Chains A and B, each alone.
Chain A
Amino acid sequence: MKPKINLLIAEPSDIIRSGLMSLLGDDEFEFMAPLRDLPTDLPLRLPHLQPDILLLNPTLLQSPAKMQLAALMQARPQMAVVALVYQYVEPQLLQSFKTILDIREQGSHLPQLLRDCCQNADEASDENYDLSERESEVLVLVAQGLSSKEIADKLSISIHTVNTHRKNITHKTGIKSVAGLAVYAMLHNLV
């Protein structure tokens, strides 16, 4: 049997916490004592608690939220931090989360969604920030101004794969805009 996924929920609403737990079920998930708020010493406790996933309502983060989130991620890099969203949350902040779980998501999709982000976290733990050969290839084409569709045709791969490469490139380099990627490519003598 596969080991259960340790899930730590940080969410102020009793209703939502109980709802999530009952939808996810305890066959696959081990629920840790849920949090109603974010204790300031949470980063210190995370290495002992060892959750695989932190399901976090982003409104619990105190300003500057991005820094607090970064501290949580740093405290346990192999943990996937998932945003539990039902209010307005800054898009800039949401980008920093591994995945977003919208409260309107269909109940039956929830276990798969969380399982997926665990797998991604495994890959991320032995992270390599150098671009792979394929990623460099995609980067050069992005820098030349090609769209994802055009790149997919040119390399005979699916547009979905191109987008995954682009996502990884941005994750590895920290650069989001096409113009910025073009500069990166030039500085690294790729074009």
Chain B
Amino acid sequence: MKKTFFTERMKMADVIAANHNLILVMPRLGIPLGFGERSVQEVCDQYAMPVDFVLLVFNVYTFDDFNPNDEALRPASLEHLVPYLMASHKYYVNERLPHIERHLTRVAQHAGERYGQILKNFFADYEKEVLEHFASEENDVFPYLHSLLKGQHLDNQVSEHFADRHTDLVDKLSDLTQIVYKYLPGETMTEELNELVFGVMQLSSDLQKHAKLEEKVLMPYIEQLERSLQ
């Protein structure tokens, strides 16, 4: 039952063909498109990215049953982890959420005042929650990792409730799609509704992978560093 995951010898183009969603991940890794026939290793070398880390991200994003081994959780492979997570936060906040909001506003305008307002309030609350969650990661979790790497063990329980909050954020997006295509009066605005639903679904699946990277890589890495300092 051994499964093959992506490796450094594969052609980058084949990796993308296998999972086209990775196109969205590449800019956050600082790797532009246009890699011709080069292998994953060659492309990573070209942009000075550690190939271990790039493969880790690709594999977590693609294979549900991929679990990084302890080997992968070393400081040398993970120096780009926090910058990558921050770049993802930025992408969600500056591009995806505004995109959804634009379509949602237009849908809300046509849905009648009552429906429109309910929809806008739900999204506004959601957006606030996402921003708070990202901020708590950036202000608490990432600095905590940084201090662990410097050999300082601070005693704040950052890992608690981490996974719960992720599930909640993903559930709410799924609820938004349900509300939009099942319960809003649907006779008008088909195009806009579709754009909105696809936008939300895309963000939802990206956030799920993002959460997985934090749960399967970031948290075990922090726990490992904590153990080594005890």
A→B interface (CB under 8 Å): 12, 59, 63, 65, 87-93, 173-177, 179-180, 183-184, 186-188
Contacts and interface: CB of A to CB of B under 8 A. Distances in A.
Interface residues of B, number: 26
Contact of B179 (A12, A65, A88, A187): A187
B175 A177 contact: yes
Nearest to A185: B118
Interface string B113-142: 001001100100110000000000000000
A88 B178 contact: no
Given A90-B64, A91-B167, A180-B171, A175 B184 contact: no
A174 B171 CA distance: 10
B64 A187 contact: no
B212 to A, nearest CB: 8
23 contacts: A63-B62, A63-B64, A87-B65, A88-B65, A88-B67, A89-B65, A90-B64, A173-B178, A174-B182, A175-B178, A177-B168, A177-B171, A179-B122, A179-B172, A180-B171, A180-B172, A180-B179, A183-B118, A183-B119, A183-B122, A184-B183, A187-B118, A187-B184
A187 B115 contact: yes
B179 A184 contact: yes
Contacts of B183: 183-184, 187-188
A177 B118 contact: no
Contacts of B126: 179
A92 B208 contact: yes
A174 B65 contact: no
Nearest to B115: A187
B105 interface: no
A175 B171 CA distance: 8
Nearest to B182: A174
Given A63-B64, A175-B179, A184-B183, 16 more contacts: A59-B1, A63-B62, A88-B67, A89-B65, A91-B167, A92-B170, A92-B208, A174-B182, A176-B174, A179-B172, A180-B122, A180-B172, A180-B178, A183-B179, A186-B118, A187-B179
State the majority secondary structure of interface residues on B. Answer: helix
Contacts of A89: 65
Contacts of A91: 167
Interface in B153-208: 167-168, 170-172, 174-176, 178-179, 182-184, 208
Contacts of A177: 168, 171-172, 175
A65 B63 CA distance: 10
A174 B179 CA distance: 9
B17 to A, nearest CB: 14
Contacts of B179: 175, 180, 183-184, 187
Contacts of A92: 170, 208
Could you say which of B1, B63, B168, B182 has the most chain A C-beta atoms within 10 Å of its C-beta? B1
A175 B173 CA distance: 10
Contacts of B174: 174, 176
B178 A12 contact: no
B186 to A, nearest CB: 12
Which of A59, A93, A175, A184 has the largest count of B CB atoms less than 10 A from its CB? A175
B88 to A, nearest CB: 19
Contact of A176 (B1, B118, B122, B175): B175
A186 B183 CA distance: 11
A101 B138 CA distance: 38
A119 to B, nearest CB: 28
A24 B171 CA distance: 36
B1 A12 contact: yes
A147 B125 CA distance: 20
Contacts of A90: 64
The residue among B62, B170, B171 with the most chain A CB atoms within 10 A of its own CB is B171
A171 B20 CA distance: 32
B198 to A, nearest CB: 16
Nearest to B19: A63
